[in-house]
Chain A
Amino acid sequence: MNEHKLIVSTSPHIRDPINTRRIMCHVIVALSPVTIYALVIHGLSALWVLAASIAGAALGDFVMQKGRRIPVTLDDCSAILTGLLLALTLPPRLPWWVAGIAGLAATILGKQMFGGLGHNIFNPALVGRAVAFVSWPAYFATGYAKSAAIGIANTATHKAIEGTVDIVNGASPLAAMKYIYDGAAKAPQGLFASNYYKPLLLANPWGCLGEVSALLLILGGIYLLATRVIGWRITVTYVGTVAVLTAITGRDPLFYTLAGGLLIGAIFMATDYTTSPLARRGKVVYGVGLGVVTWLLRFWSNNPEGVMFAILFMNALVPLIDRYIMPRRYGSAGEAKEVHSS
């Protein structure tokens, strides 16, 4: 019998076509509208931040993998995604070399030091940002664009916002509101948090690259949900918890949802696979925890924003969550009870 060789392996014999690279590319696609829009609004300086951040992240991965004499995995696109995510959390006027250092820190300190993809405890992009944030805090506090007329908000609102921004020399909307609520600054006539809704959704020049349009972030999130790259649990529980607690505190929940890093954090950072819980129930606990910590930091710390540290803090709790919050196991209910039915 002339027989050609047959492959013998154990089941299953078919695989879902999904792979790591495809997942990373989906996230990059989801982020591309907001990235392009950020370049449009912020111009060339944003481009340098973006380029330096991605280059730094890719270089960090490359150098570490070469150094460890393991295969270089730039082709899985995860380092590029890390650099892109990092850039979107950086201020547009950040010197390019700071962005580059942040990129290097993201993949070297945030990822490869722990053993590479899948082994890190903290979100690499946020590790990179945290390094830049604590090393060069001044760049993060002020210096956001005084808007060139975007033409989105009506003139009166716009003037009012400009007035607020002026109070603290180019502060982000979150910072401006914090000064006002804390009594450090007086709100100009006619300014309400609700004045910010429209610019935050459609064209917000007073913030990091990724904060230019909440709408585009939400669209990106819908894309990730539709392609099943992420689930809804972390994002919805995170944003929901922040909104509810904000309302309870007597402040405007919609403003605090749209402003700052909450949406980019909740949609793109907190949902990072490696640094979030495995089980669905764990994801809910994680999302609620993120909301509580963000709320605490926003309203009771010296910083106007708390998303980055909230995520890093909750990242550290993920192993604990995974240990104690497991999926409900089939058959576990019947173990204690009488087994047969009547």
Chain B
Amino acid sequence: MGRTSGLLYRIRGGVHPSDSKEPSAGKEIRRIEAPATVTIPMRQHIGAPCVPRVGKGDEVLVGTVIGDSEAFVSAPIHSSVSGKVARVAPQPHPAGGEVLAVIIENDGSYRRDPNLEPPGPWEDMEPERIREAVRAAGIVGLGGAAFPTHVKLSPPGEYPIDTVILNGAECEPFLTSDYRLLLEEPDSVLEGIRIIMRAVGARRGIVAIEDNKPAAIKAMESSARGSGIEVASLRTRYPQGAEKVLIANLLRREVPSGGLPMHVGVVVNNVGTAHAIAQYFSQGMPLVERVVTVTGSVVREPSNLLVPLGTSFAHAVEACGGFTEPPGKVIMGGPMMGLAQHTMEVPVIKGTSGILALSREETGYSVPAEPVCIRCGRCVDVCPMGLIPTYLGSYAHNEKWDLLHRLHIEDCIECGCCTYTCPTKNPLVQLIKTGKAELARRKQQADRREAERREAVGESGEAGKDE
């Protein structure tokens, strides 16, 4: 009960960059108005993108479903404002490229869709009904990966779940949105983990927080007192919050290669996700806004904002006083795994945990044209997966596909510790990502060919068989 203490949970490998959370850590979450038009992309999660359910000229209200999909691995998307659909067209997406989006003219009145209602008390709700509610609310993993939460809450029967971990590590430097939620809404977070535990039938619940956030740990502990939910203090080290790392630290269980947390009886959710679930159960409002940390050395007033989805990055930064100087790089997420943007006109989506703007100097390291390795072994020491990044990078560079497979490149979680730590500035994780993608493509191709061959052989084989 209470705090899971004793040893501080330390991770194997990892790096410890300056956490840079100070500029925004003390700022209370502040709700901002949506801009005059919001751009809501139909792809905001891993899985099947949504199909628009509204067309040009349609009236929408806050919480109206504007996109949905028949696929299981998908989640509906709702309007974050009330107003009129201006158009449905491809728009720049923060994850790259252009994606079909519903553009809504905000009438500024934020009228709530009257059909919305809380799904009822969860305490005696069937797990299946909880999952339906979570899906209806459009909730996806808010840590950044944006995996549809109802899918995570639906482990098949052969994998009983005994533990739910709420990930409040927030190990990425700069980001403070989870920290602020833990500090300001601990009761809601606690409610969220209890709903999740009921949905998956788990008996044990742990809220895991890095020890550079003592105030959050304290707030969570006092909220959790007597509830049976544990609060674990993690040693501050990136990537402490990576799912597989977290599970190994807290439970001494390792997710098998290629497996999922449910294979070791665990479900991991972000604290923001738990909060969103609790909010839906208490107010009936689907996921139409989220907490975003807007920070970085060139942001005038680093803040934690509650932002309506579809708000442009430019608008969110304006709400923080704008830039003090033109940024060198604007990143969605943290500096270790975030995505660099080419324009400020991309919208905040469900997976936007932060908007980080770095100065030109801060990003001004040079990457060598021809990667050199002095074999210092730092990348090997920091790899939380126990891989050999320097070999993987070199084999990917030299297109040695079979060797990449033999050295388990697919186990790489792309945390970037190897690249961060490399003294010769070798872009290791970048090479590894390329190698992984190419290997996956080749495997897909081979599988297709094999299936075709089987089909051809199978038919003639059937005919020739005489038994």
Contact = CB atoms under 8 A, between A and B. Distances in A.
Interface of A: 1, 3-4, 6-16, 18-20, 22-23, 117-118, 231, 273-274, 276-280, 283, 326-335, 339-341
Given A13-B340, A335-B256, A326 B423 contact: no
A46 B338 CA distance: 55
Given A8-B342, A326-B388, A15 B419 contact: yes
Given A11-B335, A278-B388, A331-B411, A23 B376 contact: yes
B429 interface: yes
B381 interface: yes
B457 to A, nearest CB: 31
Given A118-B373, A339-B263, A10 B344 contact: no
Contact of B253 (A11, A335, A341): A341
A14 B362 contact: yes
A3 B338 CA distance: 21
B386 interface: yes
A18 B314 CA distance: 34
A199 to B, nearest CB: 35
Interface in B221-253: 244, 248, 253
Contacts of A276: 375
Contact of B377 (A9, A273, A335): A273
B343 interface: yes
B378 to A, nearest CB: 8
B72 interface: no
Contacts of A334: 253-257, 259, 263-264
**A22, A278, A279: most-surrounded residue (chain B CB, <10 A):** A278
B436 to A, nearest CB: 12
A331 B257 contact: yes
Nearest to B414: A11
Given A6-B328, A278-B390, A331-B257, A19 B335 contact: no
Contacts of A11: 331, 333, 335-340, 414, 416, 429
B185 interface: no
Interface string B185-214: 000000000000000000000000000000
B35 interface: no
A118 B263 contact: no
Given A278-B390, A327-B386, A334-B259, A20 B329 contact: no
B405 to A, nearest CB: 14
Contacts of A326: 386, 388
Given A18-B421, A280-B381, A340-B264, 7 more contacts: A12-B416, A15-B425, A118-B374, A277-B377, A330-B244, A335-B256, A339-B263
B265 A7 contact: no
B338 A273 contact: no
A265 to B, nearest CB: 19
B363 A13 contact: yes
| Interface size range on B against A | 35 or more
Contacts, number: 173
A16 B421 contact: yes
Given A6-B341, A273-B376, A19 B425 contact: yes
Contacts of A6: 327-330, 340-343
B173 interface: yes
Contact of A118 (B15, B265, B372): B372
A280 B379 CA distance: 12
B383 interface: yes
A307 B35 CA distance: 72
B340 A8 contact: yes
B411 A339 contact: no
B404 to A, nearest CB: 14
Contacts of A341: 162, 253, 264-265
Nearest to A73: B372
A170 B339 CA distance: 67
A274 B377 CA distance: 9
B424 interface: yes
A18 B15 CA distance: 13
**A3, A6, A274, A279: most-surrounded residue (chain B CB, <10 A):** A6
B420 interface: yes
20 contacts: A6-B340, A6-B341, A6-B343, A8-B341, A10-B429, A11-B338, A13-B338, A13-B340, A13-B356, A14-B17, A14-B358, A15-B420, A279-B380, A326-B388, A327-B386, A330-B12, A330-B385, A331-B257, A331-B259, A332-B257
Interface in B160-201: 160, 162, 173
A81 B343 CA distance: 46
Given A20-B374, A22-B423, A117-B372, A332 B386 contact: yes
Interface in B16-35: 17
A286 to B, nearest CB: 11
B451 to A, nearest CB: 26
Contacts of B429: 10-12
A274 to B, nearest CB: 5
A14 B408 contact: no
Contacts of A331: 244, 254-257, 259, 385, 411
A16 B420 CA distance: 6
A278 B254 CA distance: 24
B159 A340 contact: yes
Nearest to B327: A6
Interface string B313-340: 0100000000000111111010111111
A327 B378 CA distance: 12
Given A10-B340, A279-B380, A4 B388 contact: no
A20 B424 CA distance: 6
A120 B156 CA distance: 53
B420 A327 contact: no
A332 B416 CA distance: 21
**B373, B377, B420, B430: most-surrounded residue (chain A CB, <10 A):** B377
Contacts of A330: 12, 244, 248, 254, 257, 384-386, 411
A8 B344 CA distance: 12
A27 B12 CA distance: 27
